[in-house]
Amino acid sequence: MAAGKLVKLASLGGKASRHDATEADRLVEEVRRRIVGHELPPGARLKENELAEEFAVSRARVREAFGVLEERGLIERIPNRGAVVTRLEADRIQELFEVREYLEAAMVGFATRRAPPETWDRLLDVFGVPLGETVAANDFDSYLDAIADFRATCITAAGNETLKDLLDSIYDRVQGMTRRLVLVPGRAMEGYNQHREILHAMRGGDAARAEDLKRANIRSARAWFDRYRKYLM
């Protein structure tokens, strides 16, 4: 084969490989989104051939994506069954609450110490009286959006990539449970009031108090989970 043809084939192969890798990345993020959003519920089976066709990638790339999702704790690969969405058991959820208590306290502590006080003015507006009225009217989507905003702002202000990676992994795994938990009568309003307190401490530059309040917030969520576990699992 002529040298020119070899160069052309190598070039085409490189382009195909880069395209395949890009689509595999998109596959990971899209499947992650579907799992976190409960479009793919716990126990749902993921089929290699269907995903390979949908995302125009090889089945080898799909298996690589499964490896990434498995590392994040979102799926598990079971012999003779294949890849399925992870179903969290109660003991595992309790472990995640324990870890969150300390990691999220660290998050607000770092954020309070490293960001100027006025950083928190916008979030204090977000968690203002109108949101409380919305929560009282059972509009939980607005509350969940506010919590996501709080977390994103705090983790950016904290400026710690290792902490961000750990929390991102945890949030992916607990988001479905979080959405169910806020539906329990009274929990969302309690959480709303707790976050207002946390933000006031952060605005005042009191990192130690903000950390204590965040730990109390996670402990109370855990207590609500314990109380209503049989309805939530």
> 143 and 105 in one domain?
yes
> 63 and 134 in one domain?
no
- Domain range for 11 is 3-85
> 73 and 95 in one domain?
no
pLDDT digits (tens, 9 = 90+) for 12-64: 444 545 555 677 788 888 888 888 777 888 888 999 899 989 888 888 888 88
> Quick one: three-class SS letters along the chain?
CCHHHHHHHHHHHHHHHHHHHHHHHHHHHHHHHHHHCCCCCCCCEECHHHHHHHHCCCHHHHHHHHHHHHHCCCEEEECCCEEEECCCCHHHHHHHHHHHHHHHHHHHHHHHHHCCHHHHHHHHHHCCHHHHHHHHCCCHHHHHHHHHHHHHHHHHHHCCHHHHHHHHHHHHHHHHHHHHHCCCCCHHHHHHHHHHHHHHHHHCCCHHHHHHHHHHHHHHHHHHHHHCHHHHC
> 178 and 157 in one domain?
yes
CATH code of the domain covering residue 161: 1.20.120.530
Q: Which of 32, 64, 85 is the last residue of a domain?
A: 85
Q: Which of 70, 85, 100 is the last residue of a domain?
A: 85
> 81 and 35 in one domain?
yes
> 148 and 127 in one domain?
yes
pTM of the complete model? 0.74
Q: Which of 60, 85, 110 is the last residue of a domain?
A: 85
pLDDT digits (tens, 9 = 90+) for 128-165: 999 999 999 988 999 999 999 999 999 999 999 999 99
